[in-house]
């Protein structure tokens, strides 16, 4: 400011002197005053132009280069430039933070929708778009209740009690392909709301399966238990002949062994679910495995088809090639013996059960069991490996089935990278096969 005053006074002085010097002697005072006035006007004009340049510069979008460096206007321009630069930096920083924040919300496995105070959509992530079928361009600032047309959701929003979440069908829900969402609204700020949605279809399905499983197990255990306790009561209360007593004890032993099979199959399933995947270090000899299966099959067939009950079953075990199967031996044995025992149990007396091992040209190995039993109708085939799914309930129970055999086979197959193939013709017979990958089969 002082510099500005000095420059003004200096120019005034110079103007006055020039006025005196240029005018005749008798007019020198007037000349001096006119010179000072002209100098003052010049100073104001220069100052005005400099101010105008700064003003024009300020009107531009880009203020990175100052138009003047010296004088008051230079200082003003520099200060403004610095302030603008700092503001821009702060804006860039908060913009970056906002982008990071939105990217984090975008990456969330949950749907996120930000609603304004009147319930209009301000922002939503891709997962919310999938959950509710929203369009990022079309649906901005739309009222969410107009787009999510579920009566339960509308009632939830209208009630205004957001302490708990609700479940509702998601986009594309149908009875065949259910999509279930858990939706929770959280109020924040001045009347705004944050909506979080989560796909709980799998969770609900798992929960339903768990409930069914517990109900099935309870039912399967309760039936033999009721029979057993009935016999115990009879034995306790009635004076029975020795032969009758022996018959009752026989029936009791059958029920106890049924429960035992059920419990051991359940334990097997839980072991299969909980243990690490089988490696390739353990190997079973296929011919030995086949001969063990043959012995078991013959023993079971003899029990189920006593000579007086009719013609014997034909059991054919084709000679197995010399090869080894890599995987957990107990699991492999359990899977193959389940398939063999099913064939023996469901094939009536006089029927044929054929078992064998096929070595494919590409190195895969196929274990198969073919029977001339009742067969399975096509609509049942996809469900056979479900736990407790039975087509012929009474035949299954009568022959000691638990309804878990094929579920165990499926698990073992999955764990060993094998494929379970089921072919069946109703009234003609069935063919169950396990095809093992080449990596698990070693020809010796
Ligand atoms: P289960 O202990 O009842 O045999 P599984 O899981 O082994 O249970 O088999 C499921 C159902 O598949 C059986 O109840 C039966 O109805 C059908 N099934 C399995 N194997 C055969 C077969 N070889 N022939 C006909 N039906 C079969």
pLDDT, tens digit, 9 for 90 and up, residues 111-135: 999 999 999 999 999 999 999 999 9
For the entire predicted model, the pTM comes to 0.70
What is the mean pLDDT of the segment spanning 218-231? 92
Place of tokens 């979008």: 61
Residue 1 has pLDDT above 80, yes or no: no
Whether ligand 1 lies within 6 angstroms of the CB of 346 is answered as yes
What is the mean pLDDT of the segment spanning 413-419? 97
pLDDT for the residue 356: 97
Residue 235 confidence class, pLDDT cut points 50, 70, 90: very high
With a pLDDT cut of 90, the percent of the chain lying above it is 75
Instruction: Name which residue leads in pLDDT, 394 or 124.
Output: 124
Instruction: Give me ligand 1 centre to Cα 363, in Å.
Output: 29
Counting ligand 1 atoms within 8 A of each CB, the residue from 390, 410, 427 with the most, and so the one to mutate, is 390
Residue 3 has pLDDT above 80, yes or no: no
Which two structure tokens, joined as six digits, stand for 233?
């009561």
Residue 312 confidence class, pLDDT cut points 50, 70, 90: confident
Q: 1.20.1050.10, 3.40.50.10070, 1.10.287.130, 1.10.3720.10: which CATH number matches 206-275? A: 1.10.287.130
Residue 228 has pLDDT above 80, yes or no: yes
Residue 54 has pLDDT above 80, yes or no: yes
Cα 427 to chain centroid distance, Å, stands at 42
pLDDT for the residue 444: 86
Residue 299 confidence class, pLDDT cut points 50, 70, 90: very high
Whether ligand 1 lies within 6 angstroms of the CB of 391 is answered as yes
Place of tokens 């069908």: 169
pLDDT tens readout for residues 75-100: 889 999 999 999 999 999 999 999 99
pLDDT for the residue 351: 95
Query: Which ligand 1 atom is nearest residue 432's CA?
Result: 23
Whether ligand 1 lies within 6 angstroms of the CB of 343 is answered as yes
Counting ligand 1 atoms within 8 A of each CB, the residue from 340, 384, 408, 427 with the most, and so the one to mutate, is 384
- 373: DSSP letter: S
CA-nearest of 361, 326, 282, 333 to 440 is: 326
pLDDT for the residue 364: 97
* Half-sphere exposure (Cβ direction) of 202: Cα atoms closer than 13 Å: 2
Residue 26 has pLDDT above 80, yes or no: yes
Whether ligand 1 lies within 6 angstroms of the CB of 392 is answered as yes
Place of tokens 């510069």: 57
Q: Which residues contact 62 (CB under 8 A, 6 or more apart)?
A: none
Residue 324 confidence class, pLDDT cut points 50, 70, 90: very high
With vertex at residue 433, the alpha carbon angle to CA 428 and CA 434, rounded to the nearest 5 degrees, is 165
Counting ligand 1 atoms within 8 A of each CB, the residue from 396, 421, 425 with the most, and so the one to mutate, is 396
With a pLDDT cut of 70, the percent of the chain lying above it is 100
Indicate the CATH number for domain 108-199. Answer: 3.30.450.20
d(CA 128, CA 139): 12
Whether ligand 1 lies within 6 angstroms of the CB of 372 is answered as no
Residue 29 φ then ψ, to 5°: -65, -45
Residue 6 confidence class, pLDDT cut points 50, 70, 90: confident
pLDDT for the residue 49: 92
Which residues belong to CATH 3.30.450.20 in the chain? 108-199
Residue 65 confidence class, pLDDT cut points 50, 70, 90: confident
Q: What is the bridge-based pairing of β-strands 441-443 and 323-326? A: antiparallel
Adjacent-strand bridge partners of 419? 435
Q: Counting Cβ atoms within 10 Å, is residue 164 exposed (0-12), middle (13-18) or buried (19+)? A: exposed
Lowest mean pLDDT among 122-126, 303-307, 343-347: 303-307
Which residues belong to CATH 3.30.565.10 in the chain? 277-443
pLDDT tens readout for residues 199-213: 999 999 999 999 999
Residue 309 has pLDDT above 90, yes or no: no
Q: 3.30.565.10, 3.30.450.90, 3.40.47.40, 3.40.50.970: which CATH number matches 277-443? A: 3.30.565.10
List strands edge to edge, sheet with 314-317: 314-317, 352-359, 365-371, 429-436, 419-425
Look over the chain and give the mean of its residue pLDDT values, rounded to a whole number. 93
What is the CB neighbour count within 10 angstroms for residue 341? 21
Q: Are 323 and 443 in contact (CB under 8 A)?
A: yes
d(CA 268, CA 393): 22
What is the mean pLDDT of the segment spanning 291-301? 96
pLDDT for the residue 68: 83
């Amino acid at each position: 400011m002082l510099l500005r005053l000095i420059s003004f006074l200096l120019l005034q002085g110079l103007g006055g002197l020039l006025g005196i010097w240029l005018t005749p002697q008798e007019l020198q005072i007037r000349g001096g005053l006119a010179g000072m006035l002209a100098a003052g006007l010049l100073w104001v004009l220069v100052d005005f132009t400099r101010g105008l340049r700064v003003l024009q510069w300020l009107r531009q979008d880009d203020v990175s280069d100052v138009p003047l460096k010296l004088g008051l206007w230079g200082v003003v321009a520099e200060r403004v430039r610095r302030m603008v630069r700092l503001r821009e930096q702060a804006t860039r920083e908060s913009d970056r933070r906002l982008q990071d924040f939105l990217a984090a919300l975008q990456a969330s496995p949950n749907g996120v929708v930000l609603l304004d105070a009147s319930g209009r959509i301000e922002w939503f992530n891709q997962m919310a778009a999938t959950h509710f079928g929203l369009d990022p361009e079309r649906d901005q600032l739309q009222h969410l209740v107009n787009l999510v047309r579920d009566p339960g959701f509308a009632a939830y929003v209208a009630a205004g009690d957001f302490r708990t979440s609700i479940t509702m069908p998601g986009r594309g829900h149908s009875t065949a392909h259910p999509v279930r969402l858990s939706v929770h609204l959280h109020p924040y700020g001045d009347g705004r709301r944050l909506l979080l949605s989560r796909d709980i279809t799998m969770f609900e399905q798992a929960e339903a399966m768990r409930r069914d499983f517990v109900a099935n197990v309870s039912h399967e255990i309760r039936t033999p238990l009721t029979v057993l306790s009935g016999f115990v009561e009879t034995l306790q209360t009635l004076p029975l002949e020795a032969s009758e007593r022996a018959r009752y004890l026989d029936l009791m032993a059958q029920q106890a062994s049924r429960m035992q099979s059920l419990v051991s199959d359940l334990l097997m399933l839980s072991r299969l679910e909980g243990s690490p995947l089988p490696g390739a270090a353990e190997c079973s000899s296929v011919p030995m495995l086949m001969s063990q299966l043959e012995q078991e099959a013959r023993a079971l067939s003899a029990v189920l088809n006593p000579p007086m009950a009719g013609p014997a079953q034909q059991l054919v075990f084709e000679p197995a090639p010399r090869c080894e199967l890599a995987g957990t031996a107990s699991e492999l044995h359990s899977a193959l013996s389940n398939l063999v025992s099913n064939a023996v149990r469901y094939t009536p007396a006089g029927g044929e059960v054929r078992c064998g091992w096929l070595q494919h040209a590409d190195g895969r190995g196929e274990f198969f069991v073919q029977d001339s039993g009742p067969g399975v109708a096509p609509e049942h085939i996809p469900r056979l490996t479900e736990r407790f799914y039975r087509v012929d309930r009474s035949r299954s129970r009568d022959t000691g089935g638990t309804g878990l055999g094929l579920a165990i086979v499926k698990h073992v197959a999955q764990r060993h990278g094998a494929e379970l193939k089921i072919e069946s013709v109703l009234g003609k017979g069935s063919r169950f096969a396990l095809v093992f990958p080449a990596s698990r089969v070693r020809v010796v």
